[in-house]
């Protein structure tokens, strides 16, 4: 799939946009959102954002409010069945050229993919 973006509207009426580089997804991929309501997950996300903010500006104390949290998943029809897919992972080889590692599950942040809600 060519570089572009996918969008989905949450139950809280926030529009989430996932921008991606060329070749990150196969043609026909779409995005779904599932609300996350576990308080522990929300507090962990808030603590992570506060820590990230302080690492950039240690002088100010951030005031964060969690509007909502969602699990962003990607799907496409495979053999007539809706299946979850992952962004293609790009790995740096020794000569610094990116190579495709396929459509597989992995942990951590995927290169070439950014999701945000304005």
Mark residue 108 as left, alpha or beta (left: phi above 0; alpha: psi -120 to 50; beta: remaining). left
Tokens of 28: 């026909």
| 21-55 tens-digit pLDDT | 999 999 999 999 999 989 998 888 888 888 888 88
Instruction: Check residue 46 and report its DSSP letter.
Output: H
pLDDT tens, position by position, for the chain (118 residues)? 999 999 999 988 999 999 999 999 999 999 999 999 899 988 888 888 888 888 887 777 778 888 888 999 999 999 999 999 999 876 532 233 333 333 333 333 344 555 555 5
What is the per-residue pLDDT for 115?
54
Q: What is the pLDDT of residue 97?
A: 33
Q: Which residues contact 91 (CB under 8 A, 6 or more apart)?
A: 98, 99, 101
Q: pTM for the whole thing? A: 0.66
The DSSP output letter for 118 is -
């Amino acid at each position: 799939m060519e570089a572009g973006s996918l969008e989905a509207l949450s139950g809280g009426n926030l529009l989430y946009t996932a921008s991606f580089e060329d070749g990150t997804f196969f043609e026909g991929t779409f995005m779904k959102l599932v609300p996350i309501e576990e308080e522990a997950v929300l507090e962990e996300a808030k603590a992570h954002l506060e820590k990230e903010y302080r690492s950039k500006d240690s002088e100010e104390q951030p005031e964060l409010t969690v509007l909502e949290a969602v699990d962003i998943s990607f799907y496409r029809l495979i053999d007539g069945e809706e299946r979850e897919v992952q962004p293609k992972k790009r790995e740096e080889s020794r000569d610094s050229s990116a190579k495709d590692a396929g459509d597989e599950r992995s942990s951590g942040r995927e290169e070439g993919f950014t999701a945000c809600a304005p």
